[in-house]
Amino acid sequence: MTLNLLLLMAMVATNILSLYHLTSTTLQSPKSPKQPQVPDQLLHQLHTIRATINHLTRLHPNTPTLTTKSPKPTIPPDLSLYSHLSPIPSSCHNHPDLLYKYMSYTPFSLCPSDPDTAESLILRGCHPLPRRRCFTKTPHKTIQTLPVNNPFPSLSSIPETMILWDRYNCKSFNCLNRQNPNLGFDFERESSRHVIYKTELDLPVSQLMQIAKAAKSVIRLGVDIGGGTGSFAAAMRRFNVTVVTTTMNVVAPYNEAVAVRGLVPLHVPLQQRLPVFDGVLDLVRCGHAVNRWIPVTVLEFLLFDVDRVLRGGGYLWLDHFFSKGVDLEKVFAPLIGKLGYKKVKWATANKTDAGGVKNGEVYLTALLQKPVSR
Ligand SMILES: *[C@@H]1O[C@H](CO)[C@@H](O)[C@H](O)[C@H]1NC(C)=O
Ligand SMILES: *[C@@H]1O[C@H](CO)[C@@H](O)[C@H](O)[C@H]1NC(C)=O
């Protein structure tokens, strides 16, 4: 009897405690996404899970409030999207408006033409997406020929009708090239990328292969993080190395461009765990997309995930990583140092374009080798 009473009291006490805890966390402002400390971050996440579960249980598909309230969520600039710390799986629930839009479709018919919604969810950490049973739109024209075994095809050899251009201002690769020839959509021109040594920041792939060979380390498999149209994978193809490219369709059809070259695009944002098992890759390259815009905590997670997928003796290549000079010294070099990799190459130079000079930025190109055993 007394025991039962005690148990009852204990139960009531814990409930009151958790209620207190719940309300106290609810009172904290959940708005700021930048939380320097992990416990705060976790609390924030827990709070968001609770809030969104509440929200979702109240949410009924027929409630019109959602569509009328905010027709279009204000989308932060693309780069700041990358800055969200990869959240625990509640992230889909964090964006009920987008999720609602994504899941509003007629089953067994053509999907709504909304690839941006999927990408928006992915960029916000909602990946893998919830599934839906509808048919993804494909271009109307059938494709007769495509360049085979040539990752540097001429644009005239690629039927532009094979890409759905509706969501872009440009309706062809030529148009994208006219806008900016450095985006990587002129595939023939891309054949000179990663080939020539102009400054000490460059590491031509032939040299990379030689370095690995001299170290008796075989390079067969790699991933190129934020690899745009896949030019690094294309350059490595010449050496019979298989490289897959993570790339997003921000402003242009990057994934389709990689695929058109016969290379493998992975539609994966920077903050996501790489969809690759532990210790299976020989090489990871981080291009321009990995830079000081990524908050340090997120970058740390990224680097440790790279370490996870690299085999012992594998290489991490930071290619033209840029940051403020002082931050490289005080923040990023120590962060990279945490991996305990051997510095095969470490070259820095002033970033001399307008933005670089204005912000006192420097470039770092580093080739780092993971210890053979831990
Ligand atoms: C790549 O593989 C092909 C076919 O096996 C071979 O002929 C070629 O020499 C290889 N290239 C290199 C750079 O190893
Ligand atoms: C790099 O820039 C700094 C100022 O930001 C300057 O003091 C330094 O001389 C520059 N280095 C070179 C090699 O140009």
Phi first, then psi: give them for residue 125, nearest 5 degrees. 90, 5
Ligand nearest to the CA of 241: 1
User: Could you tell me the two tokens for 229?
Assistant: 């149209």
The predicted structure's pLDDT at residue 114? 85
Nearest CA to ligand 1 atom 6: 240
Q: Which of 208, 249, 242 is nearest to 81 (CA)?
A: 249
Q: Indicate the residue among 109, 138, 167 that finishes a domain.
A: 138
Query: Does residue 34 form part of some domain?
Result: no
Per-residue pLDDT tens digits of the chain, which is 374 residues long = 454 544 444 444 444 434 444 444 333 444 444 444 555 655 565 565 555 444 444 443 333 333 334 444 443 344 444 445 554 556 788 888 999 999 999 999 999 988 889 999 988 888 878 889 999 988 887 777 888 999 999 999 998 888 999 989 999 999 999 999 999 999 999 999 999 999 999 999 999 999 999 999 999 999 999 999 999 999 999 999 999 999 999 889 999 999 999 999 999 999 889 999 999 999 999 998 999 999 999 999 999 999 999 999 999 999 999 999 999 999 999 999 999 999 999 999 999 999 899 999 999 999 999 999 88
Looking at the structure, tell me whether residues 216 and 358 fall in a common domain: yes
Looking at the structure, tell me whether residues 233 and 118 fall in a common domain: no
How many structural domains are present in the chain? Answer: 2
Round to whole Å and give the CA distance between 297 and 88: 15
Give strand pairing partners of 113: none
Looking at the structure, tell me whether residues 229 and 340 fall in a common domain: yes
Q: Which atom of ligand 1 is nearest to the CA of 240?
A: 1
Q: Taking a C-beta distance cutoff of 8 angstroms, is the pair 199, 348 a contact?
A: no
Looking at the structure, tell me whether residues 83 and 225 fall in a common domain: no
Q: Taking a C-beta distance cutoff of 8 angstroms, is the pair 290, 257 a contact?
A: no
Nearest CA to ligand 2 atom 4: 360
- Per the structure, the complete domain to which residue 67 belongs is given by 47-138
Looking at the structure, tell me whether residues 239 and 352 fall in a common domain: yes
Residue 325 Cα to ligand 2 midpoint, Å, equals 9
Q: Indicate the residue among 74, 106, 138 that finishes a domain.
A: 138
**∠213-215-218 over CA atoms, to 5°?**
50
Query: Does residue 31 form part of some domain?
Result: no
Looking at the structure, tell me whether residues 189 and 107 fall in a common domain: no
Looking at the structure, tell me whether residues 126 and 258 fall in a common domain: no
Q: Indicate the residue among 72, 105, 138 that finishes a domain.
A: 138
Looking at the structure, tell me whether residues 290 and 202 fall in a common domain: yes
pLDDT tens digits, 335-363 = 999 999 999 999 999 999 998 999 999 99
From 350, 351, 353, 358, give the residue whose CB has the most ligand 2 atoms within 8 Å, as the site to mutate. Answer: 350
Q: Is the CB of 350 under 6 A from ligand 2?
A: yes
Q: Which are the contacts of 179, defined by CB distance < 8 A and separation ≥ 6?
A: 170
- The pTM of the full predicted model, rounded to 2 decimals, is 0.77
Query: Does residue 22 form part of some domain?
Result: no
Round to whole Å and give the CA distance between 263 and 238: 12
The predicted structure's pLDDT at residue 115? 85
Nearest CA to ligand 2 atom 14: 350
Nearest CA to ligand 1 atom 7: 240
- C-alpha count within 13 angstroms, C-beta hemisphere, residue 94: 23
Residue 6 Cα to ligand 1 midpoint, Å, equals 76
DSSP 144: -
Round to whole Å and give the CA distance between 232 and 211: 17
Query: Does residue 347 form part of some domain?
Result: yes
Query: Does residue 182 form part of some domain?
Result: yes
Residue 332 Cα to ligand 1 midpoint, Å, equals 38
Round to whole Å and give the CA distance between 187 and 157: 11
Looking at the structure, tell me whether residues 260 and 353 fall in a common domain: yes
Query: Does residue 82 form part of some domain?
Result: yes
The predicted structure's pLDDT at residue 32? 43
**Ligand 1 proximal residues by C-beta, below 6 Å:** 239-240
Round to whole Å and give the CA distance between 84 and 270: 10
Give, to the nearest 10 degrees, the angle between helix 38-58 and helix 2-27: 100
Residue 197 Cα to ligand 2 midpoint, Å, equals 22
φ/ψ region of 205 (left if φ > 0, alpha if ψ in -120 to 50, else beta) reads alpha
Q: Which atom of ligand 2 is nearest to the CA of 350?
A: 1
Looking at the structure, tell me whether residues 319 and 171 fall in a common domain: yes
